[in-house]
Amino acid sequence: MGKRGIETLVGLFVLLGMLGLLFLALKAANLASFSGGDSYTLLAKFDNIGGLKVRAPVRSAGVTVGRVASITLDAKTYQGVVRLEVDRTVVFPKDSSARILTAGLLGDQYIGLEPGADEKNLGAGDTITQTQSAVVLESLISQFLFNKAADAGSAAPPSPPPPAAPKK
């Protein structure tokens, strides 16, 4: 095999490697689905972000329209500041609300955007004012138990008198 043949084979080998990389990046990973190229930034402050992670999806009516870019703590209000990168083709009214929701019972958390009815739209860098924090399962359970206990406590006092009543 001559020098040219070897060079052609090596060229093929490298080309095959590039095709493999392209396959891994575009078909088997998320490079194609949403890149930060044409997007704008929105901010949302939550009292509790729960298990929200960076790169979690932002959905409106279940359709993914963006990603969480970063999560930081506001040192003054002690709220979690979530920066959202939203697809430029989608705009939301100024009074839209953001909620942290969970996919399924134990699934990953994502941000759900509910459009409002305002005439004006949110622009780049605006803050979503109406937010609802993540539901933390522990606090939900403790609230439930507390309510149960309170119910049992309020139900308990009336019960002793009836046995006492016939004694008289």
Binding site for other proteins (CB under 8 A): 3, 6-7, 9-10, 12-14, 16-17, 20-21, 23-25, 27-33, 53, 55, 57
Cβ of residue 101: shortest distance to other proteins, in angstroms? Answer: 16
Closest-CA residue to 129 (of 154, 155, 93)? 93
**C-beta closer to other proteins: residue 17 or 123:** 17
CA torsion 92→97→98→101, rounded to 10°? -120
Residue reference for tokens 């040219």:
4
Q: Taking a C-beta distance cutoff of 8 angstroms, is the pair 42, 128 a contact? A: yes
Of 20 and 125, which has the nearer Cβ to other proteins? 20
C-alpha–C-alpha distance, residues 147 and 102, integer Å: 24
Min CB(114)–other proteins separation in Å:
22
CA distance 66 to 86: 4
Shortest distance in whole angstroms from residue 142 CB to other proteins:
26
Cβ at position 1, least distance to other proteins in Å: 9
Considering the complex, state which of residue 12 and residue 150 has its C-beta at the smaller distance from other proteins. 12
